[in-house]
Amino acid sequence: MTLKIRVIAPDKIVWDAEAEEIILPSSTGQLGILTGHIPLLTALDIGVMRVRINKDWKPIILLGGFAEVKSNNITILVNGAEEITDINLEDAKNELEKATISIEEANTSKEKIEATQILRKAKARLQAAIVNNS
């Protein structure tokens, strides 16, 4: 048995495939889903979703949203997503460093919120790069 997974962003369907397992970045921590999971509705944080297909893990960056699990069907509605095909580990590290500096330099509340979002995305990209390169 497999899971039917659909990741839907406002502008496109990012992912529509079957997998054996999925790990979601829920707002309360990492959430693993296998076939036969009980029905569930959960909020998602910015982070890396990992999907296992035939023993290989595929990372996809999710930019927050919700996931519904029901009868081996997982529907994920996200604010945005980035499918990782080829991400450079060094570029991801540099991006994280720049994002960290931008938080330190932020003065207003708005700048701090924006810098925090950029930092969270940079951390997710680095995590995806590590998963993709292992």
Half-sphere exposure of 51 (CA within 13 A, CB side): 21
| Close Cβ partners of 47 (under 8 Å, ≥ 6 residues apart) | 25, 61, 62, 120, 124, 127
Which domains, and CATH codes, for the chain? 3-83 (2.60.15.10), 89-133 (1.10.287)
Per-residue pLDDT tens digits for 59-115: 898 989 999 999 999 999 999 888 776 677 788 888 888 888 888 888 888 888 888
Per-residue pLDDT tens digits for 5-47: 999 999 999 899 999 999 999 988 999 999 999 999 999 999 9
